[in-house]
Amino acid sequence: MEKLLEIKHLVKKYGQGHLESKAVDHLSLEVYPGEFVMIMGASGSGKTSLLHLIAGIDVPDEGTICYHQTTDFGHMGETARTLFRRKNIGIVFQQQCLIPDLTVYENIMLPVMLGGSRAEKAAMKDRIPALCQQFGLEEHIRKYPSQLSGGQQQRIAILRAVVNKPPLLLCDEPTGSLNAAQSEAVMELLTRLHQEGQTTILVTHDRKVAARGQRVVYIADGQAVGHLTFGEDAPMERRKRELADFLQQRGW
Ligand SMILES: Nc1ncnc2c1ncn2[C@@H]1O[C@H](COP(=O)(O)OP(=O)(O)O)[C@@H](O)[C@H]1O
Ligand SMILES: [Mg+2]
């Protein structure tokens, strides 16, 4: 199968001279279509820096980030990266980042308003209500973000990220500011999207969250130092045990 994403020897430095440090340090990673990849690592290990490079929000100092073996972010200008990202990558952050003055419908519509063709905009009249209904959020469609819980807002932010059907979804600690029940609902949504084929890379500190992926990449000091692949039909309890052992071996 053709790789969706191929990262080779990626380096991202911050600071200069004796203050220079590598947030991402010769990291390589491959992602195939349909995968659900979890990224774990201590605070400051470079997870967000890596996600920003994958999203083309930031550019690497060394190494390559290739989509479909052709598009290389390292050698593209900012405009080309922005256009590529709009079409191909959905992004969800820890904070929900919904626009308070827009309704749920308008918030989800936003990516299409920014870059969509007239036909794509027209298609949203059906697509957005259908998407909200599919994930049990239809009663909120005319509400404003302040009328929703943090977990509901995050689920809306996820629908906004996938409304364009991007080949890749990136999530940076999407449950990081949610309670257990809200976190569960968000993971339920992401799991269903993955079951429908959504390729997803998700950064998390939470083992319960990470155990829902297909594999875990462990990052320390900007390097990928461990890989764990769960058995395909492994029950949740076994996944959690395997993950606990894996993390313990890496001093978690
Ligand atoms: N804009 C920046 N300027 C300088 N240093 C940064 C910047 N962003 C991140 N860093 C540093 O890079 C390292 C990795 O940070 P980050 O990618 O945010 O880690 P994580 O998401 O794993 O907590 C940290 O040491 C952090 O202080
Ligand atoms: Mg981070």
Q: Domain limits of the chain? A: 5-249
Looking at residue 73, what is its pLDDT?
A: 83
Nearest-atom index, ligand 1, CA of 52: 17
Asked whether the predicted pLDDT for residue 180 surpasses 90, the reply is yes
Give the residue-averaged pLDDT of 37-60: 96
Q: Whose CA is nearest to atom 8 of ligand 1?
A: 49
45/15 Cα distance (integer angstroms): 16
* Separation of CA 52 and ligand 2 centre (Å): 10
The ligand 1 site (C-beta within 6 Å) comprises 14, 23, 41, 43-49
CATH number for the domain formed by residue range(s) 5-249: 3.40.50.300
> 141 C-alpha vs ligand 2 centroid, how far in Å?
30
72 pLDDT band, cuts 50/70/90, is: confident
| Closest C-alpha residue for ligand 1 atom 26 | 44
Residue 228 CA neighbour count, 13 Å, CB half: 26
Strands 89-92 and 168-172: parallel
Which residues neighbour 135 within 8 Å (Cβ) at sequence distance 6 or greater? 155, 159, 189, 192
Question: What is the best residue among 27, 48, 95 to mutate for testing ligand 1's pocket, by most ligand atoms within 8 Å of CB?
Answer: 48
Return the pLDDT at 116.
Answer: 83
**Closest to 49 (Cα-Cα) out of 223, 237, 208, 182:** 223
pLDDT band of 215, cuts 50, 70, 90: very high
> How far apart are alpha carbons 60 and 46 in whole angstroms?
13
Buried b (16+ CB within 10 A) or exposed e, 229-244: ebeeeeeeeebeebbe
Looking at residue 115, its pLDDT comes to 77
Q: To the nearest whole number, what is the mean pLDDT of the chain? A: 94
Which ranges of the chain would DSSP assign to H, the alpha helix? 47-55, 78-88, 104-115, 118-134, 150-162, 180-195, 207-210, 236-249
Average pLDDT over residues 79-97: 90
Say yes or no to pLDDT of 26 above 90: yes
pLDDT at residue 39 tops 80: yes
- The continuous run of DSSP H or E covering 90 comes out as strand 89-92
pLDDT 10s digits, 118-153 = 999 999 999 999 999 999 999 999 999 999 999 999
Q: Is the pLDDT reported for residue 46 higher than 80? A: yes
Per-residue pLDDT band at 251 (split at 50, 70, 90): confident
Q: What angle do CA 178, 180, 186 make, to 5 degrees?
A: 65
In the predicted structure, residue 71 carries a pLDDT above the cut 80: no
Question: Among candidates 163, 162, 143, which has minimal Cα distance to 153?
Answer: 143
Ligand nearest to the CA of 23: 1
Read off the pLDDT band of 69 (50, 70, 90).
confident
The position carrying tokens 């309890």 is 237
Ligand nearest to the CA of 42: 1
Which residue has its alpha carbon closest to ligand 1 atom 16?
A: 46
pTM comes to: 0.96
Residue by residue, DSSP assigns 161-188 as HHTT--SEEEEESTTTTS-HHHHHHHHH
Of 25, 38, 47, 49, the one to substitute when testing ligand 1's pocket (max ligand atoms within 8 A of C-beta) is 49
